[in-house]
Amino acid sequence: MYFISISGLPNVWAISKLSEATRIAALVHPESAVYPEGGDKSLTAVMSATHYEFYPIMYEQAAIRFPMKCYLTRGHIGRTSFSSIVQFKHGDAIVMHSQRQIIVIDKKTRRPVGIPEAYRQQFGQPNGEALILNAVPVPKEAFKAVFCVSHSDTDVRNHASHSVYLRFCVDAAAEVTSKLKFQNFAGDMLSYKMQTLDILFQGETFAGDMIECYVWEDPERLDTLLCQIMKKDHKIVFCKMKFYQCVSHSKL
């Protein structure tokens, strides 16, 4: 039941956490060529951006029977970054599709480095384009929620894991909708079905850090919420959440 919220719908942040496990599976696979740090111990890979698409079947409880199959493939490859593609499938139907843009860095300097030629050759023919996301400024009317990063929110590198930030954004939005402060979203935020999700990673947080999560409605789209996570004056994560429905749509 970890993946199901109180509304009876899948927790998108839990699905995101499940997709993170594919990276570990690729790292330990002896023939993996998806992540270059598997062969060079001086390098590591950090995520710079990710895009998710959640298909309608994911919200059809009667249609899903676990286990689902997970597919991890290679996408675009550039000078210092590459992308990987993750899909969850139920039979032949796609449940979730995501693309991650990943930067290769030196462990000591924490600076981007060129992807090793040996890995580039093993990577094979590039597939698709690089994932490029852009943040927008936080408006004055944005609502703010404050969270503390706990030890259970961190990963093997001791910083907050990627799915945790999505949970913070969803929780912040849920706090606002419960108080009926949005125009296009109201009531239980967990009852809304997310369609797409874009996350731009801008910084890091660690256990004990206090963060501020600003959330607001996209002025250009009725079905979209935007979120900016800050640690003091430092930008940490920008998130864009598009939903299949909103209050305004249901009134039409």
**Which two tokens mark 28?**
């330990």
**Do the domain assignments include residue 103?**
yes
CATH number, position 152: 3.10.129.10
Range of the domain at 170: 143-251
User: Which residue has better confidence, 35 or 189?
Assistant: 189
Q: What is the mean pLDDT of the chain?
A: 84
Does residue 16 sit in the same domain as residue 98?
A: yes
Cα–Cα nearest to 36, from 81, 98, 85, 91: 81
Cα–Cα nearest to 171, from 153, 159, 183: 153
Q: Say what the pLDDT of residue 249 is.
A: 46
3-state secondary structure the chain: CCCECCCCCECHHHHHHHHHHHHHHHHHCCCCCCCHHHCCCCEEEEEEEEEEEECHHHHCHHHCCCCCEEEEEEEEECCCEEEEEEEEEECCEEEEEEEEEEEEEECCCCCECCCCHHHHHHHCCCCCCCCCCCCCCCCCCCEEEEEECCHHHECCCCEECHHHHHHHHHHHHHHHHHCCCCCCCCCCHHHCCEEEEEEEECCCCECCCEEEEEEEECCCCCCEEEEEEEECCEEEEEEEEEECCCHHHHHC
- Residue 1: pLDDT over 50: no
Does residue 182 sit in the same domain as residue 102?
A: no
**Do the domain assignments include residue 4?**
no
**pLDDT, tens digit, for every residue of 215-239?**
999 999 999 999 999 999 999 999 9
Does residue 91 sit in the same domain as residue 189?
A: no
Structurally, the chain folds into a number of domains equal to 2
How far is the C-alpha of 22 from the C-alpha of 169, rounded, in Å? 23
Q: Say what the pLDDT of residue 110 is.
A: 83
- Residue 27: pLDDT over 70: no
**pLDDT, tens digit, for every residue of 82-139?**
888 899 888 888 989 999 998 988 888 888 998 887 777 776 666 788 899 999 999 9
pTM: predicted TM-score of the whole model, two decimal places:
0.87
**pLDDT, tens digit, for every residue of 42-97?**
888 888 999 999 999 888 865 556 677 888 888 888 889 988 889 988 888 898 99
**Do the domain assignments include residue 129?**
no
- Residue 183: pLDDT over 60: yes
What percentage of the chain carries pLDDT values higher than 70? 83
What separation in angstroms does the CA of 29 have from each of 22, 85, 115, 205?
11, 17, 20, 29
Q: Say what the pLDDT of residue 205 is.
A: 94
